Chains A and B, each alone.
Chain A
């Protein structure tokens, strides 16, 4: 039985449900100006850099900050939240993982995000949407889905470590994706024993997720051991959120964590083991 209907909504479904009471569309983009140039009618913008992250410490927004944010955005605890964004839903997936981390009951991703919506030629508006403020209460973070650096070191040769960056980032040839000269770690490479399954292999060209059958085959063939727990990482935790959605939410693997510190943290740690090259 596919878990897909609990995790994803189609563009058709979204179009029919714009403006429906109890359903809130939130846009989260890597390019934080994308919303301003046109967005789904009624959708509210979340800025991942200033709103989903602490502005002083290097960390995601804590439960109190998350509660304040969603209260200000007009989201209630019992609303169905539909997240979408550009760049194949990377940052929407990162937000989805944060909504799950803070215990939001009903959160979904728009399959294909902005890309499919735009390629379909569906309506975008520049009208800014606001919602009346609410009183949102985030739960304490569910650390069963968030990995920290020491767990990653302990997971070497013990758990599945899935590095979802591009092959050139994995091997140590480059430090950041090919459109972003920023936020680089001190050292290139990957966590020893990690397998490289780029996030992009889980997506179709139009940004939608591949079928459950294709996804199951992809990870099995790449050597993911379903009998072990899994930690996914990338560079700053957004592409690995995309893979976390695939493994934990779509395929239903029971123990999957996102390491949001990812390579920018790991590749800057003193003394931890690093492997170069294309993997074992």
Chain B
């Protein structure tokens, strides 16, 4: 889940990906985007860190820090979660399947 910054994601204009660790992704049910899901960011110990609502296209993003994270989605289409490790600042992508 670690990789070079992905420029396809719309970020706020002042986001400096050499300093910011952005976790971004999409909530999917059966491969289809789930809009409006509640996406929770949990830290390496499982502690709640933040929550956002996914866009109509199922997209979400967090400003975090390097480390191990869990992203968990709750939706009318079901719940699900995914793990990722951000080794360094930059944009890190993750998909959350829900069922």
Contacts and interface: CB of A to CB of B under 8 A. Distances in A.
A168 B43 contact: yes
Contact of B49 (A115, A118, A119, A178): A178
Contacts of A119: 38, 74-76
B46 to A, nearest CB: 11
A54 to B, nearest CB: 26
A118 B65 contact: no
Interface stretch (B25-33, B50-58, B91-99): B50-58
Interface residues of A, number: 25
Contacts of A167: 43, 47
A193 interface: no
B74 A166 contact: no
Contacts of A176: 63
A188 to B, nearest CB: 12
Interface string A142-172: 0000000000000000000000001110000
B64 interface: yes
Contacts of A225: none
Contacts, number: 59
B41 interface: yes
A119 B79 CA distance: 11
Contacts of B75: 119
A241 interface: no
Interface string B7-22: 0000010110000100
A200 B48 contact: yes
Main SS class of interface, A: loop
Nearest to A38: B36
B13 to A, nearest CB: 11
B78 to A, nearest CB: 11
A157 to B, nearest CB: 26
Interface residues of B, number: 25
A102 B64 CA distance: 37
A115 to B, nearest CB: 6
A177 interface: yes
A181 B14 CA distance: 10
B76 A121 contact: yes
A134 B57 CA distance: 41
B51 A118 contact: no
Contact of A166 (B12, B36, B49, B76): B49
B74 A178 contact: no
Contacts of A118: 36, 38, 76
Contacts of A205: 40, 74
B97 to A, nearest CB: 18
A261 interface: no
A87 B65 contact: no
A180 B51 CA distance: 10
Contacts of B41: 178-179
Contact of B63 (A34, A115, A181, A201): A181
10 contacts: A115-B74, A119-B38, A166-B49, A173-B65, A176-B63, A178-B62, A178-B64, A179-B50, A179-B51, A181-B63
Interface of A: 31, 34, 86-88, 115, 118-119, 121, 166-168, 173-174, 176-181, 198, 200-201, 205-206
Q: Considering the complex of A and B, which 7 residue pairs feature the smallest CB-CB distances, nearest first? A: A200-B48, A178-B50, A178-B62, A178-B64, A179-B50, A179-B52, A177-B50
Given A166-B47, A181-B20, 15 more contacts: A86-B53, A88-B51, A115-B38, A118-B38, A119-B74, A119-B75, A121-B76, A166-B48, A166-B49, A168-B49, A168-B65, A176-B63, A177-B50, A179-B51, A205-B40
